[in-house]
Structure 1
């Protein structure tokens, strides 16, 4: 099939999923939009199977920005994030400026911002919040920093006070980092227990440890980004023994896709959740209702 035919077939597949489950739409809390030259570098990194991926990663939705937006909307995604992140000091404020402009022209995108432990972090995070940021992205693995770094205390304090969630990649997959794993985040939560972190990828591969953290702190949420897909299960399978705990935390699990940086069609992520057989009510919460509540989407 041609690319348009393929996208149309995928949209029909997602529509059929939504109809089976009874969903008015999808909310995807883990999608990436960033300046074009930055995104191209990210794609080049995936193409090279770099040290943080270590495996071939063919990106399916390698399209121009407008096409990517149209694709999400055709899938019935009513709200999504524009996750972006710095890999070194001096980038975050510039990325936040771009993200504010993108959110301003993209009303269905949840205004996203980011940060890095650096002297000016408090100032530009406060500015991002004042400009309307509704979610932050933290990538402990790529940034190579400790989320419990004291320079970030004012940031965590502001996010706690304003009830703003932060999608945080802090699990040790695909490759462990100096500050990945549950303990750095646990230290942050010990100091800021009202924080609302969204643990990306269900904390893979430390699934049970991050589920325990969610049991301990009511503000902890988890996203399903890439989890349960054939691609992810081949490398970091979710333990079947933890399914009851995942079901019990159904009010704090959120659907994420990693679009556009995924090596398989978007519908597969939804089918992967459906085949868990946790039921349509759980799927409705995960794919829509929980994010609507968390972000006040109405």
Structure 2
């Protein structure tokens, strides 16, 4: 049963992980031009059930999530609804992040800013493993969760390797490349990978040096996506909260701030040279 435009309920993906799941179902369905009954026929549920999932009135189940993945071609991918259901069930991802991941895997352009740590999309397995092992020692996660976290990250990176890969622009605070993680060998390998990343035709890497001081516009992690229809999406994360935003009134200021950040950051050539000097121990 497809809601009419008059009765269409506006969704708030930030209300809860369940709401984010439902909002993503609707967004994915509408992107493909399907009505609720169209999707229902493909997954073996009623249009009323689809409506209840999308509006958060009914929680998704494992079986429903797997049926979605089969219908959408998402099985065993980072965009998988089964994976989102699993994370929702455990409550192990911050608000907004499950929906963000689904959009990231389809984005035409990804812009990242990070401070303190190399962003996940650019982490080597050894670097990510060191962070996960540290979380185990602090009692934050279990060994099983740590292994899943690293495996998921590798799958997330693999999702960007496709016939038409997205443009990935990363601006890293200088602290990211100076902070040693995982020991000398692991950190050197991580810095070497950043240099390789910068050489790819669909990437751009810049370092925001300490010297820009108060001119750095961001104090926390920022992810900006440009989707294939040129719409914009922002995901901003703190230590304990994540916020996904589609409203142009709030996303455009972040895009402008990102451009300002790029303007005061080192060029890619200078950034790679800084990383090279750090590897040599001469900086």
TM-score, structure 1 normalization: 0.35
- The one of the two structures with greater contact order (alpha-carbon pairs below 8 A, sep at least 6) is 1
TM-score, structure 2 normalization: 0.36
Larger helix fraction of residues: 2
Q: Report which of the two structures shows the higher radius of gyration computed on alpha carbons.
A: 2
